[in-house]
Amino acid sequence: MAKFVFIGAGSLVFTKNLVRDLLTFPAFVDCTITLLDIDKDRLAYAKQTVDNIIAAGQYPAKVEATTDRVEALKGANGVICTLLAHDVDVWRTDLEIPMEYGVNINIGDTRGPAGIFRFLRTVPVMLEICRDIERYCPDAVFLNYTNPMAMLCRVMQSETNVKVTGLCHSVQGTAEMLAGWIGAPMGEITYRCAGINHQAFYLDFKWNGKDAYPLIREAVVNRPEIYNEEQVRNEMYLHLDYYVTESSGHNSEYNAWFRKRPDLIEKYCTHGTGWNPGLYAPGLQHRDNPALDWNKQLEEWRDSPIELKRGNEYASYIFNAVFGDQTLFEFNGNVRNFGLINNLPEGCCVEVPVLASKRGLSPMHVGPLPDQLALLVNTSARIEELAIEGALTGDRRKVFQAICFDPLTSAVLSLEEIKSMVDRMFEANKAYLPQFA
């Protein structure tokens, strides 16, 4: 009987979908699902949601809910993390302070000044979790969904002995989007994808063994509804020749091309049909607008119809491959770069194909990225490495210098302006960053 622990179970949509997927595997129908969250109200919603799934599927599974991490982790086989460290009062400053300086960030949870400060706040929590896993379930497989993915996974993998990788649904999600654009059944598509989290690229994308990139280019160039669905990513593809995995909203922040001037934001980051301007906005809106009832939203998610069909998130397939019925499963995961991508920094966190089996998680060698992609991705990877060094040593100077080279920030601000912005961000975060005391 397997035991799965959901850390941050109050992330209700993730919890609902991942529990549903787990219970579709025969090896896990009688598992124990332990829900952990520090927010008792959200935890109660999560418990009711999982109870509904178990009842709908008539599974013999057991569900527990607790705020005690030690008790939750004892005896776990698999651990899933979807937590958000701290609250809206601090993470809103990640976007609002840069905005005052003209750095227009859309989401800010992955890299750039906002992503780096989110990382600085979150990494102590993640290391505490890993230390508890080492003590109470050292053989567990730990799957992280918390952002900033690359920096957190890099630290957990270098500073602990936990069997951890990070997962992002953008790889399989974008592959399905591209297949839909060219009218291909997903079962006939194969691809090889590599880079770093949110900046991984499909190095090949094939339909029944034949290169499908010409069909994708034709769709992007000749069908306005497709171009407008992902304006930023489509511009990147048309000029860099490979398609990036993560959304236009995210990728508009990771380079200097789309958000450094108001006219570019208007042109590329406002009117696309698939554009989501500011994924952080709902949290701020619920904080600032009493008419928006967050509990009502949680109730709607909890009480929405139960779909028992397995989805395409990687987590349940990985667990099944490692300690379920041990069916091999290939996925794109976040691991350290030891000889995997030749022209990215050794030891940085990369997102590459990984094989899950009873042997565990085995990353696959990719080789070099095309030169134009390596230039873009190296910048992000090296910034992340410098920010990580600053976090581990408590060196504010290294954090500042990492942000100096962020492409969007450096396209907008001078070095002195960046220093002023970073100082203000440290001041706003001083209660959350004991490592810099």
Q: At what angle do helices 12-22 and 315-323 cross, to 10 degrees?
A: 40
Annotated binding site for substrate: 147
Please confirm, yes or no, whether 169 is among the known catalytic residues.
yes
Give me 166's structure tokens: 């990070």
Give me 173's structure tokens: 């999600």
CATH class of 3-89+107-166: alpha beta
* Per-residue pLDDT reduced to its tens digit, 124-183: 999 999 999 999 999 999 999 999 999 999 999 999 999 999 999 999 999 999 999 999
Annotated binding site: 147, 168, 198
* Per-residue pLDDT reduced to its tens digit, 207-266: 999 999 999 999 999 999 999 999 999 999 999 999 999 999 999 999 999 999 999 999
What is each CA distance from 142 to 52, 57, 151, 172, 309, in whole angstroms? 25, 26, 16, 20, 24
Distance (Å, rounded) from C-alpha 66 to C-alpha 45? Answer: 12
Task: Say which CATH architecture domain 90-106+167-279+313-437 belongs to.
Answer: Alpha-Beta Complex (3.90)
Give me 247's structure tokens: 């959304």
Domain regions of the chain by residue span? 3-89+107-166, 90-106+167-279+313-437
Give me 262's structure tokens: 């108001």
Annotated binding site for Mn(2+): 168, 198
The one catalytic residue among 169, 250, 271, 365: 169
pLDDT class for 184, splitting at 50, 70, 90?
very high
The average confidence (pLDDT) of the chain is 93
Q: Which of 44-48, 154-158, 433-437 has the lowest mean pLDDT?
A: 433-437
Q: At what angle do helices 213-222 and 170-182 cross, to 10 degrees?
A: 70
Handedness of CA 351, 357, 360, 364 (dihedral sign): negative
Query: Which pLDDT value is given to residue 146?
Result: 96
Handedness of CA 411, 412, 416, 421 (dihedral sign): negative
